[in-house]
Chain A
Amino acid sequence: MAQWRFEVSNRKGFVDARGRAVLEDIRELGISSVEGVYTARVYLIEAEMDRAFAERVARELLTDMVCQEYRIGRSDIPAGPMPATLIEVHLKSGVTDPVAESVVAALADMGVAGAHVRTARKYILVGRITDEQTETIARRILANDCIEEVITGTDSEPPSSHTRPYQLSVTQIPILGLNDDALKQLSKDRDLFLTLTEMRTIQQHYQSLGRQPTDIEMETLAQTWSEHCVHKTLKSSVDMDFDGKPIHFDNLLKETVFKATQDLNKDWCISVFADNAGVIEFDEDTAVCFKVETHNHPSALDPYGGAATGIGGVIRDPMGTGMGARPIANTDVFCFAPPDTKLKDVPKGVLHPRRIMKGVVSGVRDYGNRMGIPTVNGAIYFDDRYIANPLVFCGNVGLLPRDKCFKRPQSGHLILVVGGRTGRDGIHGATFSSGEMTHEHEDIFSHAVQIGNAITEKKMLDTLLVARNRGLYEAITDCGAGGLSSAVGEMGETLGAVVDLETVPLKYAGLNYTEIWISEAQERMVIAVKPENLDEIRRLFAGEDVEATVIGRFTDDKMLTLRYQGVQVGRLDMEFLHEGLARYARKAVWKSRSPGEPDLPFQDDYTQELLEILGSYNVASKEWVIRQYDHEVQGGSVIKPLTGAANDGPSDAAVLRPRLTSAKGIALSCGMNPMYGDIDPYWMAMAGIDEAIRNLVCVGARPDRIALLDNYCWGDCSRPETLGALVRASQACLDGAMGFETPFISGKDSLNNEFVCEDGTRIAIPYTLLISGIGMVDDVNRCVSMDVKRPGNLLFMIGLTRNELGGSHYYNSKGHLGGNVPQVNPAVAKETACRIHQAILKGLVAACHDCSEGGLAVALAEMAFAGGFGVEADLRGLPTSDDCVRTDQQLFSESNSRYIVEVSPSNYDAFARLMLNLPFGQVGEVMKEPRLTIKNRHQKIVIDAELQRLKTAWQAPLWLG
């Protein structure tokens, strides 16, 4: 068969968006000599066709003749005064190429069957660059070494060789008789990330069996026992020295976060901390589930791919919850170093934060948008200490029928893998993400990065929902960390399973049985199917071009039996696998600190301070990110992330109506403030809880139907100080959840977020606890937004402003931390939330905004410029504690549990009656003139600025092009 090469590029006058983006990335790598980048798509087609037909294929299928041009054959290096470098990026042989598959199908439609197609990208770099720079650009920007191959110059295409098939050879790992050093070395050599105690436990187990383990058994244990999968730190027993007083926990998680949920025992909690996501009641026949995951390590190495598979992975959690939920919303929270970090401050082996941020945002965008799931809530937090360990939290909410909240796998059910095929991508992801990172990680662990394809996941979702509704399967779970080993291992935990690994569909030949078993290739789910339903389920999936393959069955022998072509390659006792892990005893220490307050001068005017805080990265508008996400698909959007007269104000929480025929809604929010953790992680956690709840209440959610999720990202907890901080945060989770009566329904932790630089310096992230909130809205028509609505309306502050500038943005803008971290009185906070909610239900509230980062001054500015009307504020009406006397404290203190509410004068009496006995006072009035003025208690104007000036300061910083 003849091979035809087609090159397709944009015509002159049409933007080469990809070329433009690559050029920008090259500049960000610090290479300034490249002047232009031009790209082309390359198609290599082997098929029975003549020149005339090839021309037709080029014109009708491959090229958009209005804006593109094509060339059959290879184009030359463009002539011109500047030298140019050609780089072609091909997929490695055997890697799935969805574009090629689409072209094969389209060619068949055109009458050419059996074509063989490969695609590549061609880049022309204009400018003088060294070979080394070419190599850097290719490796860091253009290609992912795990799946792609780079060709420079005008070399011929890579051979389309087919990977050699795998020849079975069972590998035993000699572990019996090894001493401690040898055990440690073995764990390290095989990237198992198992501790000495764990290696000894395994050794003892096999001693009692009288044989050596096979490689697949060791890998299964390493996956199942990884920090990522079992959270051994949070479940360990802890002896803590708390300011010299001993405290003991038998199981930290059970005695803090879990305990609150257990003690609260809410009847609307359906399934908590048990399944892939926490499930609560939505309405009479529907439940809602919510899960937030992190994908930090992969996003550090490959921001685009890491974030895309982060969102792709968390979407499969609700899909694998109960009998499968329909995903209805995504959330995303990121932590980065500031995008303007100087190149010289970026450690070796680390990508520049601007590049990480752009890659992560594009990854979430492309995957989430393609899935047709609105991304509705999130936050971005900046701190220098995230430079080597960016944090990427991805969340997903799903809806499922009340009678499909539980699985029922039984012995005799067939095990099917559905969706994508298995490849070498993502091997060791679970173990890799459980360790710390070093400057060499980029090279060693490129194989741990998974590769996502949203359309494969979308097709799988569409068919699974039909299968669920027809009752065609009995259990479902996702293939996440640990791949099939975790999915089958968990589903068959109380049963037992036999798996024939050669039956798993592969992306390419050559995988050995262990690789098949632990691969974290994306877009796969495992279902349990009754034999009598097999034919129907196969027909259903085939009808929409989704693969569904029987790979084994569940048994009743409580053993996990792994076979390859009939040969047993592993056999593990389910009980040892799931219960054999030794419990840990850890030490923790916490010493209370009182860093003291900085001595700041009194000022006559704070306008400059307000502008600076509005323009700080943490407070500044995230519109550049938000607009790249489809936040309206599925048609349920009620309160969008951006709101106000010009659709650009910052909403407190998102509200959506997941059932289009019902007025009932779901509100989503988050709360996080790592700066407080530098003073005391207890109050950091409490503030996160208060903020998540406040945000939900602001938009109209019921305070008595709020559930929370916890996501800890921490450093190395083998250090007692680091673990002590985690214990403090966990204690707050218990106290906060109990106080607000808001149970935690799901959680996850990512530890060891540390980086060892080449010179041995260690960078640990700040203690970071993300609290995500989900609340119920009885009638979305009653929802409230944060923008001021009408001149003449009155503005009230509900909640006490205290002398609590510790960890504030005001102090931070002046280079201080302080010690007076904002505290929370949950009883008062809860009562405040309930009264605000009643006022919203009675229709008394025109706007409601939570007072958080930047305090009262920032909140008023945001309400004003979002609504397009001015505000005249007066601090005489502000309810304060006795020690909160300074103007800067009153303006910028970040005291929790505070709401600013806009009320029309006609509703004043009713509103005031509702707020009786709460700290409450009028702080201002909405004005026609677009200007914010704030008078202090002595009637001096201390802030005065046109709204446009404030808005510009807030909008300008985060536009990354």
Chain B
Amino acid sequence: MENVQAIVLRAAGVNCDVETQYALELAGARAERIHINRLIEDPAPLDRCQILVFPGGFSYGDDVAAGKILANQVIYHLAETIRRCIDDGKLVLGICNGFQVLVKAGILPGLAQMGFSFENQPVSITDNDSGKYEDRWVYLQPGTDRCVFLDADRRIYLPVAHGEGKLVTRDASILERLRSEGHVAFRYVDAQGDVGDFPINPNGSVDSIAGLTDATGRVLGLMPHPERFVHSTQHPHWTRLEEPQSDGMMIFDNAVRYVRENM
């Protein structure tokens, strides 16, 4: 498919939609920002797109818990449409608050045979161990080779900016399944690729998990912001480097390439 269409979902308090749209367009997609109220009125645009992105921000002010209210809207109004999108081979990406939404709506981790629902949510994302919001850059090591958004052997450098980014699992068996079934999309590591404590792992996530993919490998959620590193001058010390590669583009380029080659 040549004309790749993406939708960046807006809602009250979402605030990374413009730069996410820009990143998708840099990668060659046509991206549209659409308010969730419009999709609830008429979900047809979802049928016309191949990539759906839940961008970062503070949807509904993090009321009740981060991502919760938007997740509730998704469950009760768009669940079937989104399930159909995934079943049809389309891609879904959740960044930061968008990742929280995907987790709280049960779309991630999308363990095999579990489907997505509120019941028995297997993982969650909660307050950073530091107890506060922080903006800092982290290295990410891919943890699986079956997520279409990432190059399995490429370590990338991206910023995180959140107060609730600590990934936790309901119990140890869930964590074991995330690992053994290839759901761990990214881990926080240092420049050499080793895991470690704060600030290498900025929020205290279990097993340093920074992002998850579902059983299909076509849904990705991550706390770091790939849309904030699409130009070399966004690197925090680009003035020391020769044209650093814009690591965030990996995610958008791979998504667009996947759609072009497979749909």
| Chain A residues within CB distance 8 Å of chain B | 14-15, 17, 20-21, 59-62, 64-67, 98-99, 102-103, 105-106, 109-110, 365, 369-372, 453-455, 458-459, 462, 543-545, 627-635, 637-640, 642-645, 647, 657, 660-661, 780-781, 783-785, 787, 789, 847, 867
- Min C-beta distance of B244 to chain A, whole Å: 12
| Known contacts A66-B168, A644-B237, A61 near B12 by CB under 8 Å | no
Task: Kindly identify which residue among B61, B64, B76, B240 contacts A454, using a CB–CB cutoff of 8 Å.
Answer: B61
Residues of chain B contacted by A642 (CB below 8 angstroms)? 236
Q: How far apart are the CA atoms of A454 and B60 in the complex, in Å? A: 10
Residues of chain B contacted by A20 (CB below 8 angstroms)? 131
Question: B225 within 8 Å of A by Cβ?
Answer: yes
Q: How far apart are the CA atoms of A793 and B189 in the complex, in Å? A: 32
| Known contacts A20-B131, A627-B134, A784-B239, A455 near B60 by CB under 8 Å | yes
Residues of chain B contacted by A628 (CB below 8 angstroms)? 132-135
Residues of chain A contacted by B37 (CB below 8 angstroms)? 543-545
Residues of chain B contacted by A14 (CB below 8 angstroms)? 126-127, 168
Residues of chain B contacted by A462 (CB below 8 angstroms)? 10
Task: Kindly identify which residue among B72, B75, B124, B239 contacts A643, using a CB–CB cutoff of 8 Å.
Answer: B239
Residues of chain B contacted by A647 (CB below 8 angstroms)? 136-137, 236-237
Residues of chain A contacted by B233 (CB below 8 angstroms)? 638, 657, 780-781, 783
- Min C-beta distance of A717 to chain B, whole Å: 39
Q: How far apart are the CA atoms of A634 and B134 in the complex, in Å? A: 16
**Once the chains bind, are B239 and A633 in contact (CB under 8 Å)?**
no
List the A residue with the shortest CB-CB distance to B131.
A17
Residues of chain B contacted by A784 (CB below 8 angstroms)? 239
Residues of chain B contacted by A59 (CB below 8 angstroms)? 118-119
Residues of chain B contacted by A453 (CB below 8 angstroms)? 61
Find residues 131-177 in chain B having any chain A CB closer than 8 Å to their own CB: 131-137, 159, 161, 168-170
Interface of B is mostly: mixed
- Min C-beta distance of A841 to chain B, whole Å: 15
- Min C-beta distance of A687 to chain B, whole Å: 27
- Most interface-central of A61, A64, A640 (chain B CB within 10 A): A64
**Once the chains bind, are B68 and A61 in contact (CB under 8 Å)?**
yes
**Once the chains bind, are B234 and A64 in contact (CB under 8 Å)?**
no
Q: How far apart are the CA atoms of A450 and B183 in the complex, in Å? A: 46
- Most interface-central of B134, B137, B239 (chain A CB within 10 A): B239
Q: How far apart are the CA atoms of A785 and B237 in the complex, in Å? A: 8
Residues of chain B contacted by A65 (CB below 8 angstroms)? 120-121, 124, 170
- Min C-beta distance of A950 to chain B, whole Å: 19
Residues of chain B contacted by A99 (CB below 8 angstroms)? 61, 63-64
Q: How far apart are the CA atoms of A644 and B237 in the complex, in Å? A: 6
Task: Kindly identify which residue among B38, B61, B77, B230 contacts A543, using a CB–CB cutoff of 8 Å.
Answer: B38
| Known contacts A65-B121, A102-B69, A632 near B228 by CB under 8 Å | yes
Residues of chain B contacted by A544 (CB below 8 angstroms)? 12, 35, 37
**Once the chains bind, are A627 and B127 in contact (CB under 8 Å)?**
no
Q: How far apart are the CA atoms of A671 and B10 in the complex, in Å? A: 38
Residues of chain A contacted by B68 (CB below 8 angstroms)? 61, 64, 106
**Once the chains bind, are A635 and B124 in contact (CB under 8 Å)?**
no
**Once the chains bind, are B239 and A783 in contact (CB under 8 Å)?**
yes
**Once the chains bind, are B15 and A371 in contact (CB under 8 Å)?**
yes
**Once the chains bind, are A633 and B15 in contact (CB under 8 Å)?**
yes
- Min C-beta distance of A953 to chain B, whole Å: 20
Question: B32 within 8 Å of A by Cβ?
Answer: no
Residues of chain A contacted by B75 (CB below 8 angstroms)? 109
- Min C-beta distance of B118 to chain A, whole Å: 4
Q: How far apart are the CA atoms of A785 and B241 in the complex, in Å? A: 12
Q: How far apart are the CA atoms of A637 and B225 in the complex, in Å? A: 13
**Once the chains bind, are B239 and A630 in contact (CB under 8 Å)?**
no
**Once the chains bind, are A455 and B58 in contact (CB under 8 Å)?**
yes
Question: B13 within 8 Å of A by Cβ?
Answer: yes
| Known contacts A370-B61, A545-B12, A109 near B76 by CB under 8 Å | yes
Residues of chain A contacted by B15 (CB below 8 angstroms)? 370-372, 458, 633
Task: Kindly identify which residue among B19, B77, B127, B136 contacts A17, using a CB–CB cutoff of 8 Å.
Answer: B127
- Min C-beta distance of A104 to chain B, whole Å: 11
Task: Kindly identify which residue among B131, B133, B227, B237 contacts A15, using a CB–CB cutoff of 8 Å.
Answer: B131
- Min C-beta distance of B173 to chain A, whole Å: 13
Q: How far apart are the CA atoms of A661 and B15 in the complex, in Å? A: 19
**Once the chains bind, are B124 and A64 in contact (CB under 8 Å)?**
yes
**Once the chains bind, are B161 and A633 in contact (CB under 8 Å)?**
yes
**Once the chains bind, are B10 and A787 in contact (CB under 8 Å)?**
no
Q: How far apart are the CA atoms of A371 and B132 in the complex, in Å? A: 17
Residues of chain B contacted by A543 (CB below 8 angstroms)? 35, 37-38
**Nearest 10 interchain pairs by C-beta:** A372-B15, A635-B19, A66-B124, A102-B63, A109-B76, A17-B131, A455-B61, A785-B239, A60-B118, A99-B63
Residues of chain A contacted by B239 (CB below 8 angstroms)? 639, 643, 783-785, 787, 789, 847
**Once the chains bind, are B127 and A15 in contact (CB under 8 Å)?**
yes
**Once the chains bind, are B234 and A787 in contact (CB under 8 Å)?**
no
Find residues 77-132 in chain B having any chain A CB closer than 8 Å to their own CB: 77, 104, 118-124, 126-127, 129, 131-132
- Min C-beta distance of B4 to chain A, whole Å: 19
Question: B216 within 8 Å of A by Cβ?
Answer: no
**Once the chains bind, are A630 and B161 in contact (CB under 8 Å)?**
yes
List the B residue with the shortest CB-CB distance to A649.
B237
Residues of chain B contacted by A371 (CB below 8 angstroms)? 15
List the A residue with the shortest CB-CB distance to B58.
A370
Residues of chain B contacted by A66 (CB below 8 angstroms)? 121-124, 126, 168-170
**Once the chains bind, are A369 and B19 in contact (CB under 8 Å)?**
no
Question: B73 within 8 Å of A by Cβ?
Answer: yes
Q: How far apart are the CA atoms of A660 and B35 in the complex, in Å? A: 22
**Once the chains bind, are B129 and A15 in contact (CB under 8 Å)?**
yes
Residues of chain B contacted by A15 (CB below 8 angstroms)? 127, 129, 131
Residues of chain A contacted by B258 (CB below 8 angstroms)? none
| Known contacts A635-B22, A647-B137, A106 near B72 by CB under 8 Å | yes
**Once the chains bind, are A372 and B16 in contact (CB under 8 Å)?**
yes
- Most interface-central of A20, A459, A627 (chain B CB within 10 A): A627
Task: Kindly identify which residue among B72, B121, B124, B129 contacts A109, using a CB–CB cutoff of 8 Å.
Answer: B72
A-B contact pairs, 20 of them (CB 8 A): A14-B126, A15-B131, A61-B72, A65-B121, A65-B170, A67-B124, A102-B61, A103-B63, A106-B64, A109-B75, A370-B61, A372-B16, A544-B12, A544-B37, A627-B135, A630-B135, A630-B161, A634-B18, A644-B237, A783-B239
Question: B221 within 8 Å of A by Cβ?
Answer: no
- Most interface-central of A15, A21, A455 (chain B CB within 10 A): A455
Residues of chain A contacted by B65 (CB below 8 angstroms)? 64
Q: How far apart are the CA atoms of A15 and B129 in the complex, in Å? A: 7
Question: B57 within 8 Å of A by Cβ?
Answer: yes
Residues of chain B contacted by A372 (CB below 8 angstroms)? 15-16, 57
- Most interface-central of A109, A110, A787, A789 (chain B CB within 10 A): A109
List the A residue with the shortest CB-CB distance to B225.
A632
Q: How far apart are the CA atoms of A612 and B236 in the complex, in Å? A: 29
- Min C-beta distance of B115 to chain A, whole Å: 15
Q: A65-B170, A454-B13 are known contacts; what are 12 more A-B pairs with Cβ within 8 Å?
A: A60-B119, A106-B69, A371-B15, A632-B225, A633-B15, A633-B16, A634-B18, A635-B16, A635-B230, A638-B233, A640-B236, A661-B22
Q: How far apart are the CA atoms of A682 and B124 in the complex, in Å? A: 57
List the A residue with the shortest CB-CB distance to B117.
A60
Q: How far apart are the CA atoms of A631 and B137 in the complex, in Å? A: 12
**Once the chains bind, are B234 and A637 in contact (CB under 8 Å)?**
yes
- Min C-beta distance of A400 to chain B, whole Å: 16
**Once the chains bind, are B73 and A109 in contact (CB under 8 Å)?**
yes
Residues of chain B contacted by A17 (CB below 8 angstroms)? 127, 131-132
Binary per-residue interface labels of chain B (197-238) against chain A in the complex, 1 for a CB within 8 Å, 0 otherwise: 000000000000000000000000000010110110110110
**Once the chains bind, are B236 and A458 in contact (CB under 8 Å)?**
no
**Once the chains bind, are B135 and A629 in contact (CB under 8 Å)?**
yes
Task: Kindly identify which residue among B126, B159, B237 contacts A632, using a CB–CB cutoff of 8 Å.
Answer: B159
Residues of chain B contacted by A629 (CB below 8 angstroms)? 135
**Once the chains bind, are A645 and B77 in contact (CB under 8 Å)?**
no
Q: How far apart are the CA atoms of A784 and B237 in the complex, in Å? A: 10
Q: How far apart are the CA atoms of A207 and B96 in the complex, in Å? A: 64
